[in-house]
Amino acid sequence: MYPITYLTDCFDANARARLSTRIGALFGQSPTIVAADGPDPEAFAALTLLDCLRSTESLGEDGHPTITLLNIAPRDGAWPNGVPFCYFWFGRHLVAGTFNPRALALVRRELDVQKVFVTDIREVLAAASWTNLTSAEADRIADTQFRSLWYLPLLAKWIADDRSVPSTPTVVPLTPDEPPTISVIDNFGNCKLDHHPSTAGFALGATLPITHRTPDGTTIVTNVRCYPHLTAVPRNAPGLIPGSSGTGYLELVIRGGSAAKYFDLRPGDSPLHGV
């Protein structure tokens, strides 16, 4: 059995119940469902997907294959009935999800995932001779609003079972260069950015300008010092450090406090946009 992690922006209680039950019925075990919430779910998904795959490294043994599902669909109206679903392998680990270049941007940049396999739902269902799905069921799956429930688990199961799923190799588009963006704020209030310190002007002992809001809504700039790790930051003081996410991505912290609250920052903000 594969350990399954599902990153999704459909995470209300009803959706979680249905996803858990359907995936449990297919795989014999229910997934860990991770809510991609907040003001920038794509940024959260991009960093979390990268962290999930990197967590399979350096096990000291072969370990077990995993499946990571990703449902972060751009609501841009560019695709009939939504963006298509794709899959790729990272070593023995399968990722299946929406073809969302921004959500895939960090695995492209850091793990060299340049190509994925894009699927067409109707084409896949028509080719799925190994199933007992009726034509009516296939039509319902192809037309449903909740394709991440009805189709994505099937795609993952069939790929994991080495079925002949038709797909089109597709290059993951490069996303425009953007200033370091807060992708995740952890439960301590540490702000995890989506860039390595070396690309953000980080230098030990130097300061970088953090643009943020004050309680009255005024935007100001505070110079924050760079430190090698959290315990080097003075207590109750802000600092910039190489953090635990990505490949040591930059993290804005306050030792003993919440950087997010202190600077009034949230996911999607670019506090280093002037760097």
Beta strands, E only, 25-165: 32-35, 67-71, 85-90, 93-98, 115-119
pLDDT at 215: 82
pLDDT at 82: 74
Backbone angles phi, psi at 180, to 5 degrees: -55, 130
Which stretches of the chain score pLDDT less than 70? 74-81, 273-275
pLDDT at 227: 98
Backbone angles phi, psi at 50, to 5 degrees: -60, -45
pLDDT at 174: 87
Q: For 40-76, what is each residue's pLDDT tens digit? A: 999 999 999 999 999 999 999 999 999 999 999 765 5
Q: For 263-272, what is each residue's pLDDT tens digit? A: 999 999 999 8
Q: Which domains are assigned to the chain?
A: 4-171 (3.40.50.10790), 182-263 (2.40.30.90)
Tokens linked to 55 = 């967590």
pLDDT at 178: 84
Q: Please compute Rg for the chain using Cα positions.
A: 21
Quick one: residue 77, left, alpha or beta (phi over 0 = left, psi -120 to 50 = alpha)? left
pLDDT at 81: 57
Handedness of CA 112, 241, 210, 257 (dihedral sign): positive
pLDDT at 176: 83
For the purposes of burial, counting CB atoms within 10 Å of the CB of 49, is it exposed (0-12), middle (13-18) or buried (19 or more)? buried
Q: What is the pTM of this model?
A: 0.94
